[in-house]
């Protein structure tokens, strides 16, 4: 059965959601029947006027305000947290939520690192792998079964955590073959964003190979604008949807050449200030991004339009959608999608 969850990231920042609004909207999502709720794990975010909260403190509060839905970060990184600290944070939320916690862990973003003096590192994927390895070891540690680990980034000696663990799920956020290998090796789930169904299916082959001997949850963080009129939803989606399509693999199919400085792999390493300086160049380029591509990567329009878009991803292999609802009428969108789109996939 396909699952549907809500994410509080770009959309939440644009709506100026405060803590109370986030908690209320997640409670509303659970009441409507959504399967999961996620919050961004950032230090900075657009727009600069928005408030950005500590993800794991917020998730502790969400654990106490919800009963059944899975809850997690989307996504944390291995640079701001030592794996022992992150292991304890996630284990605590898992206990508070009675085993409903999901740790989504990714490559990292410059906006959360550069201006704070936190190094990205020369091999962030290696750091990601080592972090997951240590977290899993510590979740299974006891005073009598201590952890020793020697890697390129971390050295652990006779370490253990003093908390009983529900063994939370670890999803790996990744948009490259290198991170997909980490998913195949260590992840319980995969959560990319900015994919077409065709590209998702292509990359999924790595996880469906004979070498992966366990079930991996196949998620997708998707931006959705839903309305009774297609034009209204399209106007909401187009400026944000275009920025999600900044990948060579996507644009090459439409004969659009992506400048190197605007490529996803480059922009993800920029600070918030550096992204703002780059804004004019980005704005002039996104007008070249075909609407057809935005339609492939996101879902927008009427409920019937959204059903078609979601169905393409389901056929590509997605089994858990993590949704960022866009537009000013957040609750209306969440309700309309639950009532008229989700029943087609349950």
Rounded mean pLDDT of 184-209? 93
Full domain range(s) for residue 160: 3-230+302-345
DSSP string, 143-166: TTB-EEEE-SS-EEEEE---S---
In angstroms, the Cα distances linking 70 to 36, 39, 97, 211, 217 are 4, 12, 8, 28, 13
Question: What span, in angstroms and rounded, lies between the C-alpha atoms of 73 and 312?
Answer: 26
In a domain? residue 280: no
What is the CATH classification number for the domain harbouring 221? 3.20.20.30
pLDDT of residue 177: 83
pLDDT, the chain, mean: 95
0.95 exceeded by the pTM?
Answer: yes
Q: Average pLDDT, stretch 79-84?
A: 98
Contact 77, 105 (CB under 8 A): yes
Report yes or no on 307 lying in a domain. yes
Share of the chain above pLDDT 70, in %: 100
Q: In this structure, how many other beta carbons lie within 10 angstroms of the beta carbon of residue 7?
A: 26
150 in a domain, yes or no?
yes
User: Strand runs (DSSP E) across 63-154, as ranges?
Assistant: 70-73, 101-106, 147-150
Please tell me what DSSP assigns to residue 216.
-
210 in any annotated domain = yes
Question: Lowest-confidence range among 111-120, 122-131, 209-218, 244-253?
Answer: 209-218
Tell me the average pLDDT across 151-167: 94
Task: Judge contact between 122 and 192, C-beta under 8 A.
Answer: no
The helix or strand, by DSSP H or E, that contains position 301, with its residue range, turns out to be strand 299-301
pLDDT of residue 47: 87
Q: At what angle do helices 55-65 and 83-96 cross, to 10 degrees?
A: 10
Comparing 15-29, 77-91, 242-256, 270-284, the range with the smallest average pLDDT is 270-284
Asked whether residue 335 is assigned to any structural domain, the reply reads yes
Phi and psi dihedrals of 218, rounded to 5? -110, 95
Which is more confidently placed, 1 or 227? Answer: 227
Whether 273 maps to a domain, the answer reads no
3 state DSSP class of 81 = coil
For residue 107, is pLDDT > 70? yes
Residues 117-156: pLDDT tens digits?
999 988 999 999 999 999 999 999 999 999 999 999 999 9
- Mean pLDDT over 151-177 rounds to 93
Q: So what's the pLDDT on residue 166? A: 76
Examine the pLDDT at 211 and tell me if it is beyond 80.
no
Structure tokens that stand for 260 in this block: 């190197």
User: Which residue in 118, 108, 113, 120 sits closest to 44, CA to CA?
Assistant: 113
- What average pLDDT does range 249-271 have in this prediction? 90
State both tokens at 167. 């063994």
- Is 181 within the bounds of a domain? yes
Question: What total of structural domains would you count in the chain?
Answer: 1
Place of tokens 């070891």: 137
Maximum CA pair distance of the chain?
63
Summarize pLDDT for 22-80 with one digit per residue, the tens: 999 999 999 999 999 999 999 999 888 899 999 999 999 999 999 999 999 999 999 99
Residue 255 contacts by C-beta under 8 Å, 6 or more apart in sequence? none
What per-residue confidence (pLDDT) applies to 134?
A: 98
By the 8 A CB rule, do 254 and 198 touch?
Answer: no
Q: What local confidence, expressed as pLDDT, does residue 241 receive?
A: 96
pLDDT classification of 210: cutoffs 50, 70, 90: low
Look at residue 261 in the predicted model and tell me its pLDDT.
Answer: 86
């Amino acid at each position: 059965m396909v699952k549907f969850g809500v994410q509080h990231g770009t959309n939440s920042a644009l709506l100026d959601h405060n803590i109370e609004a986030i908690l209320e909207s997640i409670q509303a999502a659970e009441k409507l029947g959504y399967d999961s709720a996620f919050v961004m794990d950032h230090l900075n975010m657009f727009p600069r006027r928005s408030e950005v909260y500590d993800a794991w403190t917020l998730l502790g509060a969400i654990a106490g305000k919800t009963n059944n839905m899975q809850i997690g970060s989307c996504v944390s990184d291995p640079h701001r947290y030592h794996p022992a600290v992150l292991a304890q944070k996630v284990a605590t939320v898992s206990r508070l939520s009675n085993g409903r916690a999901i740790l989504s862990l990714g490559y990292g973003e410059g906006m959360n690192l550069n201006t704070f003096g936190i190094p990205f590192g020369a091999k962030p994927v290696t750091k990601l792998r080592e972090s997951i390895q240590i977290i899993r070891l510590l979740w299974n540690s006891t005073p009598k079964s201590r952890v020793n680990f020697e890697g390129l980034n971390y050295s652990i000696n006779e370490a253990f955590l003093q908390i009983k663990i529900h063994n939370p799920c670890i999803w790996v956020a990744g948009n490259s073959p290198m991170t997909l290998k980490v998913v195949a090796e260590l992840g319980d789930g995969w959560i990319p964003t900015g994919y077409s169904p065709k590209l998702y299916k292509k990359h999924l082959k790595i996880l469906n190979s004979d070498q992966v001997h366990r079930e991996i949850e196949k998620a997708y963080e998707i931006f959705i604008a839903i309305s009774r009129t297609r034009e209204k939803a399209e106007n909401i989606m187009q400026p944000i949807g275009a920025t999600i399509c900044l990948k060579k693999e996507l644009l090459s199919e439409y004969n659009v050449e992506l400048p190197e400085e605007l490529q996803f792999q480059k922009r993800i390493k920029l600070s918030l200030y550096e992204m703002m300086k780059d804004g004019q160049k980005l704005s002039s380029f996104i007008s070249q991004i075909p609407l057809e591509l935005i339609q492939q990567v996101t879902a927008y329009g009427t409920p019937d339009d959204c059903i078609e878009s979601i169905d393409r991803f389901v056929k590509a292999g997605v089994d858990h959608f993590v949704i960022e609802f866009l537009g000013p009428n957040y609750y209306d969108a969440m309700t309309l999608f639950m009532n008229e789109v989700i029943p087609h996939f349950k």
